Structure 1
Amino acid sequence: MPLEKFQWCFPARPNRLYNIASGITIAGVGTFAKVLLAWLNKVNCYNIELLESAVSRRNKNQPLVTVSNHRSCLDDPSIWGCLRIKTLFTRKYMRWTLAANDIVFTRRLYSKFFSLGRCVPVCRGDGVYQQGVDFCLQKLNNGDWVHVFPEGKVNMTNEYIRLKWGVGRLIAECKQVPLVIPFWHVGMEDVLPNKEPYIPHIGKTVTLLVGKPIEFRDMLTHLRNERRSPLEIRKKITDIIQEEFVLLKAKAEALHHKALQDRQGFQSNNINISNEEKANR
C-alpha cells in the first residue's frame, strides 16, 4: 500500500515521547550498522575524518548534505557503521535521508519505524517539488544533515546513471549554502546481495572513499547574478556532483580491488604457514 494512503508520518510539533522513541530507534539502528559493517565485515575507510568532522564538529547552524552511490538496500543505514559510536547514538548528529515511499513506506508500521529513524518518504517520478524534498529543505535550513542517494534507486548494474535533480534543489534553495560532501562505496552489494534470499553476509570487504567538500557558494552567486533559472541552477549543481562521482568511483574501485588482492594474499600465506606447521609436527 503506497504512502499516500496514510497520513504524513512526521508530527508538526514532536513531543517528548516522540523524541525519546526516535532516539531509541536511532541508537538501535546505529548498533545494527556498527555490528554489521565494522564488526562482522571488514570496512576500509579513506578520508573518513572529513565525514566525521562534518557530521559532529561543524558549526551548529551549518547545514550538511552528503551524497553517495546506491548499491544495496542496506546502504543506509549500514554505511554509517563507519562513524564513531558516539555519533551513531547521538540523535542531533544523525542524518535525514530521502527514501522511496513505494519500497520503504508500504505499511503503516514501517512508516512509523522509518520516520523515527529519520527516513523521509519521496515519490519517485513526482519531481523536485514534493513534500519529502520540502521537508528535507526545512531541516537543512535548521542546520541539520541530509543524505541523498541522487541515483534515485539501487544501481544493480554499477553503470553511470543520470543523477536526479532533487539534490540540486536542496543545495540551491537552502538559505545558507550547505557543506556538501560526496563519497563512494564499493562492496555493500556483497554484504547484502541484490537477489534472493536477501540475507546479510559476513566476512566481506567494503571500501568507502570520502571526497573533499564541494564548494558551491561562488558558483551560486555567479549563476544568480546572471539570472539563471532555478532549473538551470539545479542542473549545474547536479552535473558537478556527477563529475565528482565519476572520479570517486574510479579511485574507490581501485582501492577496493587492491584490498581484495591483499586479503587473498594474506589468507593464502596463512594457509601455507598452517600447512608447513602440520608438516613439521
Structure 2
Amino acid sequence: MSQSDVLQRGDDFLMQYPRNSKVWKMFSHFTCLFTVGVSKLIITSLYNVELNHFDRLERAIDKAHDQNRGIMTVMNHMSVIDDPFIWAVFPWKTYRKLDNIRWCLGAHNVCFTNKFISTYFSLGQTLSTERFGAGPFQGSIDATVRLLSPDETLKNMDTLKSHFKMNRPAWVHVYPEGFVLQLQPPFSNSMRYFKWGITRMILESTRQPVIVPIFTTGFENIAPEDTAESPVDRYLPAGYGTKINVTVGKEIDEHVIENYRAEWSALVEKYKNPDSPHDLTDELKWGKEAQELRSRVAATLRENVAKIRHEERGFPQEDKRFKSPQWWKRYTTTEGASDPDVKFIGKNWAIRRLQSCLTGKESKDSNK
C-alpha cells in the first residue's frame, strides 16, 4: 500500500530539476548515450567481456512495459565503476529511448559535490542519496517509489499534486550493499548484507515491480580499491585484458513479492494514524514488525543474487557470517577487529571516520 505523502515527497524531489522539459530530456538522453558510449569504447578495447542470459532481462523489460509496471534490477557492488560500465555491457538497443534507461542512486558526497557534477549525474538519471545519517526515509528513496508507480495509479489520490510525468513506470537499478566491497582471498566476490532501505521501493510502490537480480565480476580489477587514495591510479583503468562477466538471473518469484506486499498493506492498516492517514507513522518506520519485514525482503533479494554467484558462476558458498547485518555492523564498528581474518582490499568505506567530507551526527538509522 502506498502513501500519497511519500509519493508527493518523491515527486517534489524529482522536480528539483526541470525533468519534464523537452530540452532537459534531450540533454539527459545525450548524457546517458555519451557515457555508455565512452564506457563501451573502454571495455571493448581493453577487456574481455562476457554477458550471460541477457534474454532474461529483455523478457522482464517487455513484461514490465506490457503490464505498465516498473522494473527493478538488483546487483552486487564490487567497484566504483560498476556504474556506468555495467551499461556498456548491454547492447545499444537497450537505450534507444530515454524511458528505457535506468535510474539509480548515487552517493551525495561522491556524485553531487558541486553544481557541474550534480547536473551531470542528474542528467544521467542518478538520484542524490545520503549514506550517513539520513537513513532510508529520505527524498531519493521516496523518488524511486514514485518512479516505480504508474501515473495512472495516482489519479485517485486526492492529496497528491503530481508534477513529474512519465510515459511508463521507470527502471530502477540498485546496489543494496550501499558500499563497494572488495575482500582479499578466500572471501573474494562475497557480498555485504543488503540494506533494507531499498525494500521500500518494492513494498511502497503503487504497483508491484518486476525484479531481476544480476551478479558481476571483473569490474573490481579495473578499479581496485587499493588505489582509491592515489590521485593518479584511481582514475586510470587497470587490469588490462581481465575478464568481465555479467550474468543476469531469473526474475524473482512474483508470489513471494506479492506476499511481502500483502504483509505491508496489513501493517499500514494496523498502524495508520487517523490524524495523518497519508504518511508513514513512526511504527511503520521504526516498529519491530516493519523492520523485520524489510529485513526479510532484503534477505530474499540477497539470496537471489547469491544464487547466481553459487549456482551459475560456480563460486563456493559464501562465509555464513556475511549474510548477517549484525555481523557486518559489529565488524564495521570495531573497524575489523572483531574478525581479523576478513581483510579488505583497500578500506572499508562504511566506516564513518573515513568519510572526512561528512558532517553532522550519525543518526540511529545510518546503518539501515
TM class by shorter chain equals: 0.7 to 0.9
Partner Cα distance (2:218, 2:78) in 1: 8
Q: Structure 2: which 5+ runs fail to align? A: 1-12, 151-168, 184-188, 269-288, 316-368
Partner Cα distance (2:20, 2:129) in 1: 21
What's the counterpart of residue 102 of structure 2? 95
User: Structure 1 residue 69 and structure 2 residue 76: aligned?
Assistant: yes
- Note the alpha carbon deviations across 1:149-203, whole angstroms, 9 max, x for none: 0000111224431211122111011111110101110110112222140211442
CA contact (8 A) 1:68 1:183 kept: yes
What's the counterpart of residue 20 of structure 2? 14
Kindly provide the amino acid, as one letter, of the partner of residue 242 in structure 1: R
Cα offset, 1:243, TM superposition: 1.6
What percent identity do the matched residue pairs reach? 27
What's the counterpart of residue 278 of structure 1? none
Relative to the length of structure 1, the TM-score reads 0.80
What's the counterpart of residue 330 of structure 2? none
CA contact (8 A) 2:64 2:209 kept: no
CA contact (8 A) 1:37 1:79 kept: no
Cα offset, 1:217, TM superposition: 3.7
Kindly provide the amino acid, as one letter, of the partner of residue 237 in structure 2: P
CA contact (8 A) 1:43 1:206 kept: yes
Which region of structure 1 is more displaced relative to structure 2, 60-69 or 35-44?
A: 35-44
Instruction: Give the 4+ runs in structure 1 shifted more than 6 A.
Output: none
CA contact (8 A) 1:181 1:210 kept: yes
- Note the alpha carbon deviations across 1:14-45, whole angstroms, 9 max, x for none: 31211111111011012123223344322112
What's the counterpart of residue 244 of structure 1? 304
Partner Cα distance (1:13, 1:174) in 2: 20
Cα offset, 1:223, TM superposition: 2.3
SS at match of 1:26: helix
Kindly provide the amino acid, as one letter, of the partner of residue 211 in structure 1: G
What's the counterpart of residue 219 of structure 1? 259
What's the counterpart of residue 237 of structure 2? 200
What's the counterpart of residue 206 of structure 2? 175
Kindly provide the amino acid, as one letter, of the partner of residue 213 in structure 2: P
Q: Structure 1: which 5+ runs fail to align? A: 1-6, 256-281
- Note the alpha carbon deviations across 1:91-116, whole angstroms, 9 max, x for none: 11000001111111111110000000
CA contact (8 A) 1:99 1:120 kept: yes
Partner Cα distance (2:83, 2:172) in 1: 12
Partner Cα distance (1:179, 1:155) in 2: 26
Structure 1 pair 8–24 and aligned structure 2 pair: CA distance change class (3 A): same
Structure 1 pair 56–93 and aligned structure 2 pair: CA distance change class (3 A): farther
Structure 1 pair 120–109 and aligned structure 2 pair: CA distance change class (3 A): same
SS at match of 2:111: coil
Choose from 220, 225, 234 the match for 1:189. Answer: 220
Across the two proteins, how many residue pairs are aligned to each other? 249
Choose from 170, 177, 189 the match for 1:151. Answer: 177
Cα offset, 1:245, TM superposition: 2.5
Partner Cα distance (1:153, 1:253) in 2: 22
Cα offset, 1:207, TM superposition: 1.0
CA contact (8 A) 1:127 1:166 kept: yes
CA contact (8 A) 1:184 1:252 kept: no
SS at match of 2:182: coil
